[in-house]
Chain A
Amino acid sequence: MKNTGIKLLENGRRLDGRSPKDMRSIKIIPNPIKNAGGSAYMEWGKNKVVAAVYGPSEALPRHTANPDKAVIKCRYMMAPFSSEEGHGRVGMNRRAIEISKVTAEVFENVVILDQFPGTEINIYVEVLQSDGGTRAAGITCAAVAMALSGIPMKDLPYAISVGKVGEDIILDLDKIEDNYSDADMPVAILPRTDSVALLQMDGTMSKTQFDTAMQMVLDAGKIISKLQKDALMSQYTEQGKKYG
């Protein structure tokens, strides 16, 4: 938003050398948290995120239970030591409450909830190190964790953010780009139908730019989806080896 003289895009290259359409490297490790029903650890550029899924278990407190279906509860939180700046404020701030809410909503749409009436499914997303795009990383990572927990899902969602620098659309904003870009738009997609499960935007954008941005998300999604599936596959080939 603020013009601080930082050139985010020069000669088609971004500060870290990426072109506008490049995303950062992604690594997903399945099931690092053994106590959880399913979990995943993800490195997305400099972001380091762990997601774990517990449940379905009895919904507590009881008034939160729904007799028709499971309820999804999510807690997204950034560790106080996660940012490049000083000690972060500990606890659930307003940003974390909102991200927790929209993350849970993504999964409400894909998890087959009516198989588990009266229960709750807990998604925990802990951001250990942050460098922009943590909610997207959290959702992408939680999707793998959810699948690994064996809870039936209609689709495997992924998320990524797009943004705008000047009049150029850029994919997968890091922290500096997030701070100084002209628009930031995290999107979550259900890839079987390419439907939009999360959409937030702030900044300035025209409709044409929105469409360009969406196309970039869908193109990148093919790569992200594959990495998610590879992570799931690797878990089962590991298990296969163990039991011969």
Chain B
Amino acid sequence: MRTLTKEYMMERISKGIRNEKRKPMDYRNIKLEVGLIPNAEGSAQATIGNTKVLAGIKIDLSEPMTDTPEDGNLTTSAELLPMASENYDIGPPTPEGVEFARVVDRGIRHGNVLDTSKLFIEEGKVWSIFMDLYVLNYDGNIFDAGTLALMAALATSKIPKYEDGKVVRENMKRLETSNIVTSCTFAKVIDSLLVDPDGAEEELMKARLTITNGKELIYAMQKGLGGVFMQKEIDSLIDAAFDKSKELRNIVQKSTGD
């Protein structure tokens, strides 16, 4: 971004003006589509403004982890695809990609979306849920798009059957989910706090805070980047997250047909 553009945008943000007449606590348009990949057990694509994240779910038979012999496994991975942005490169996962996957994972895991004990089959055999996030186009706030996509994919996912030592992927049942979680990501640009930063705003932000919550409880938080937050700022963002998550939860419920 050119210095002049940067300064102009910073000045506008400090006056509370954002692109497309957004207010500081407004999301861009959100679209959530489920079932785009019929071969996957579950899939959903979240579009927030120009940001596009696809979540795909595959469920396979596997051995349990040694410390949780009676629980299934959850694995979240993310790909920041080179096609999604000039700034994403081919190669092994970058720290940004790893952080993205782990933050989304923590929200879903600690939000008790899935009961891993129900993924137990028999001794030494459990289901592993592989949750893959594909960032197809980057324009800021992949965290919220990732959580939305994954949440919707899980809520509409099917689970294979285990019959006579074989995995059967025909006439699959619905995968049981027991909670809806959503995340709200905030950017701090100078002293302004903005929800759902777009790509340009993310270039300007000094700090980022992602809060994943349900109706009453916070399940995960992650502060990112070199800037800082004061406790009273975090408090106000927690309130904002609870407020905004009502909208997001509605979007998830609508997309999954519940």
Contact = CB atoms under 8 A, between A and B. Distances in A.
B165 interface: no
B223 to A, nearest CB: 4
B95 A204 contact: no
Contacts of B220: 201-203
A196 B223 contact: yes
B221 A199 contact: yes
A210 B218 contact: yes
A201 B221 contact: yes
Contacts, number: 94
Interface string A199-238: 1111111110011001000000000000000000000000
Given A2-B68, A98-B95, A105 B221 contact: no
B231 A194 contact: yes
Given A94-B102, A105-B225, A210-B238, A195 B230 contact: yes
A210 to B, nearest CB: 7
Given A97-B98, A101-B95, A202 B230 contact: no
Interface in B190-241: 209, 216-231, 234-235, 238-239
Contact of B229 (A199, A200, A203): A199
Interface residues of B, number: 33
A202 B228 contact: no
Nearest to A74: B95
Contacts of A201: 218, 220-222
A190 B218 contact: no
B224 A105 contact: yes
A190 B222 contact: no
A207 B218 contact: yes
Per DSSP, are chain B's interface residues mostly helix, strand or loop, or mixed?
mixed
Contacts of B226: 105-106, 108-109
A201 B109 CA distance: 12
Interface in B81-123: 93, 95-96, 98-99, 101-102, 106, 109-110
Interface in B145-165: none
Contacts of A196: 223, 228-231, 234
B219 A202 contact: yes
Contacts of A2: 68
Contacts of B68: 2
A31 interface: no
A176 interface: no
A206 B216 contact: yes
A1 B230 CA distance: 29
Interface in B226-258: 226-231, 234-235, 238-239, 242
Contacts of A101: 95-96, 98-99
A197 interface: yes
A102 B208 CA distance: 12
Contacts of A106: 226
A214 B231 contact: yes
Contacts of A194: 230-231
Contact of A1 (B110, B209, B239, B242): B110
Interface in A110-145: none
Nearest to A109: B226
B219 A203 contact: yes
A101 B208 CA distance: 14
A221 B220 CA distance: 23
A202 B231 contact: no
Most chain A CB within a 10 A radius of its CB, from B102, B109, B209, B242: B102
Given A101-B98, A106-B226, A202-B109, 4 more contacts: A196-B223, A204-B110, A207-B218, A211-B235
Interface of B: 68, 93, 95-96, 98-99, 101-102, 106, 109-110, 209, 216-231, 234-235, 238-239, 242
Interface of A: 1-2, 94-95, 97-98, 100-102, 105-106, 108-109, 183, 185, 190, 193-207, 210-211, 214
19 contacts: A2-B68, A95-B102, A100-B95, A101-B98, A106-B226, A109-B226, A183-B110, A194-B230, A199-B209, A199-B234, A200-B223, A202-B220, A206-B216, A206-B217, A207-B239, A210-B234, A210-B235, A211-B235, A214-B231
